[in-house]
Structure 1
Amino acid sequence: MGRVLTASASGADDVEAVWQQFIPAARLEHVDPVRVRFHWSSIETGSLSLVQYSLHADVRSWIRLEDQIMASQLAALDARVVTAGRDLDARQPWLTGDGPMHAHWRGTGRIRAFLFDRTSAEQVARAVSGDDRLVLRSIDPVARDRALAATWERTFGYVASALAAGHEQPLVAAELERHALISTLTAFSTTYLEALDRASQRAAAPRTVRRALAFIDAHAHEPITIEDIAAAAGISTRGLQHAFRRALDTTPSHHLRTVRLAAAHRDLQRGEAHVSEVVQRWGFSSPSRFARFYRDMYGRNPGQTVRMF
């Protein structure tokens, strides 16, 4: 069904070499040079890598992913996983975010993880949520509750067994990838769940609000005002403000800015223009104001997105 990779190494130099081969986005900061041993096993399908490895050492490591999303679990003595100064329970599943994740343990650490191609995962999340502007991002690295964490663990075991069985049907592989991804995106707080919630809100919104949303989507690239949106929806500006608050818990101006930020984000990803041109194109009054809104929404500066793509 997929490409199977296995490797073993001992001794600090050999472990470092194999580690870099399989986990180029991670670094080993410190290992015991004598006792270190590394065993790796993974199965790669089209957009998913299922990884299980053990590393015997007193170890400090860190990982920062840009092109992938990783959901992982670590079993080890005195295990610690830290991100943004926050200690996580390594025994529970955790999800990588925009910043680096640091892991510390003694003895043998056993890790299992799903790694998803970010672009492919985003396409699936957009299709399922119905939000074609969705930028997939982790909001909280910790599973939302223990029941969902247990569900993720069962999903990992099921997908691992099915892939190891060696089925050759591409449709089966695709279904397993999708099952692993949706289980992961549901277990953690992500923008995917926010998009599902927005889709539900939009569908249930009054007709005037739906008309306003459609007008914003169609004319966000133009210098429209709240008065223009209210006129298109057939309601007063005050009534529009109240309707948005009641139906969507936001304001028309905030929604318009969100739509424009999403469009600017797509332009930056495609490399179609410099940041200053994107700022002007989507109607932001200054680069600094745009950068502040952009950081709030995407967790990084506009220039960082340009360099990533």
Structure 2
Amino acid sequence: MRKRFAEGSPIASTVITGDDFDELEHTFQAFLAPDTVKLHTPAPTGFFDISQLSGLRTPGIDPNGLSVYELTLDSDVVLEGEETPDAYTVIVTMNGRNQITLGQEIVPSRHVVTGPETRFRTRFEHPDILLLRVGKRLVADAMRERLGETPTSTLHFDPAVVETSGMGQWITLLHTFSETAASGLFDRSPLAAAHFEKLLLHGLLDTQPHSLSGDLAGERPRPKSAAVRRAMIHCEEHATDPVSIGELAMVAGVSVRALQLAFRTELGLTPMEYLRRVRLDYVHQDLLAIAQGRAEGTVTDVALRWGFTHLGRFSGFYRQTYGKLPSETARLTA
């Protein structure tokens, strides 16, 4: 159902509406990587409506911002394309059905998250959808704010949104945000809109699993000592190498005992636990790439690449960090 906006709202408005599906394809090219977009309508009848509820006043993506749109299709549509390099999109299906394929894998969920440069193919069947678009730079800034330091890698969300109690509440929050934006309240209170957007962003980071979830689960203050920072950087730059505690102490310029104490005090971890966390983060990213068709290999290949030779212990560490087995992330068997 088409959204009813408060009269004269400068924020909530119609982006495009009608029954010209060539025009709809052109609009999607403004949101996505243009050369990749293809729109097929098995029966090009009915109408469509894309409404902007918050954020940009023109289609596209602001790497520093957040935008919400509602898409209504009174038709069956197949959309193929690729996400831009600087955006994430959360697709929440309110009514109708869709089938979304990322890479070569069908995502078994009504709600899906895509990430930068993710290739997708979606079949929509008369859907009513909320789209949350988040800039890559905004996500990186939020993680830096949370962790006290710049993430060493790009964040990758698990594509399937599972409606656990946390994500169910977040989806309800997105609905409330869209209704409030349409009412015109955010026009009168930009500060309220900014606070709501921040709540949406951090709620997504906390409830939808991603490659840096392990870091957020044990959010830690920024390390104050130069010795700990030097050791952390060495772990991140040499994650594929056989790093020892003695080597880390030498790089840090302190004794082994002093380094262990500093890590415990500042991070709540031992140096080798931190190294394992870094390696698990790289493993998680590689498994997501396999699941999305951006890379090939098996769980065993990835584990060995990042120095995990005991596969049983590796699976235990991975499940403890990400709440699932590595094969569940990659949709492969080891």
Give the structure-1-normalised TM-score: 0.65
Q: Are residue 153 (structure 1) and residue 168 (structure 2) matched?
A: no
Write the deviation string for residues 160-181 of structure 1: whole angstroms up to 9, x where unpaired.
1222232333322211111111
Please name the residue that 1:74 is paired with: 93
Distance 1:137 1:162, change over 3 A: same
Please name the residue that 1:45 is paired with: 55
Please name the residue that 2:256 is paired with: 235
Please name the residue that 2:213 is paired with: 193
Alignment of 1:1-309 (within 5 A): 3-6=11-14, 7-21=16-30, 27-32=37-42, 34-45=44-55, 47-65=65-83, 66-75=85-94, 77=96, 79-91=98-110, 93-98=111-116, 99-106=118-125, 108-143=126-161, 145-166=163-184, 167=186, 168-200=188-220, 213-217=228-232, 227=246, 229-231=248-250, 232-235=253-256, 247=269, 250=272
Distance in 2 between residues matched to 1:253 and 1:49, nearest whole Å = 36
Distance in 2 between residues matched to 1:222 and 1:191, nearest whole Å = 18
**What is the DSSP-based 3-state SS (H/G/I as helix, E as strand, rest coil) of the residue aligned with 2:149?**
coil
Distance 1:257 1:161, change over 3 A: closer
8 Å contact from structure 2 (residues 109, 161) kept in 1? no
8 Å contact from structure 1 (residues 53, 110) kept in 2? yes
Distance 1:211 1:247, change over 3 A: farther
Following TM superposition, by how much is the alpha carbon of 1:55 offset from its aligned partner in structure 2, in angstroms? Answer: 1.9
Following TM superposition, by how much is the alpha carbon of 1:111 offset from its aligned partner in structure 2, in angstroms? Answer: 1.4
Q: What residue identity is the alignment partner of 1:16? A: E
Please name the residue that 1:270 is paired with: none
Distance 1:173 1:222, change over 3 A: closer
**What is the DSSP-based 3-state SS (H/G/I as helix, E as strand, rest coil) of the residue aligned with 1:62?**
strand
8 Å contact from structure 1 (residues 48, 177) kept in 2? yes
CA RMSD in angstroms comes to 4.2
State which drifts further: 191-200 or 118-127.
191-200
8 Å contact from structure 1 (residues 76, 105) kept in 2? no
Aligned residues: 252
8 Å contact from structure 2 (residues 214, 277) kept in 1? no
Distance in 2 between residues matched to 1:222 and 1:178, nearest whole Å = 32
Distance in 1 between residues matched to 2:177 and 2:152, nearest whole Å = 26
Q: What residue identity is the alignment partner of 2:192? A: V
8 Å contact from structure 1 (residues 79, 105) kept in 2? yes
Following TM superposition, by how much is the alpha carbon of 1:127 offset from its aligned partner in structure 2, in angstroms? Answer: 0.3
**What is the DSSP-based 3-state SS (H/G/I as helix, E as strand, rest coil) of the residue aligned with 1:196?**
helix
Distance 1:228 1:123, change over 3 A: same
Give the structure-2-normalised TM-score: 0.60
**What is the DSSP-based 3-state SS (H/G/I as helix, E as strand, rest coil) of the residue aligned with 1:138?**
coil
Q: What residue identity is the alignment partner of 1:43? A: L
State which drifts further: 108-117 or 159-168.
159-168
Structure 1: gaps spanning 5 or more residues: 262-291, 294-309
Distance 1:225 1:21, change over 3 A: closer
Following TM superposition, by how much is the alpha carbon of 1:35 offset from its aligned partner in structure 2, in angstroms? Answer: 0.6
Distance 1:2 1:184, change over 3 A: farther
More strand by share: 1
Distance in 2 between residues matched to 1:175 and 1:211, nearest whole Å = 35
8 Å contact from structure 1 (residues 140, 188) kept in 2? yes
Structure 2: gaps spanning 5 or more residues: 1-8, 57-64, 283-304, 307-334
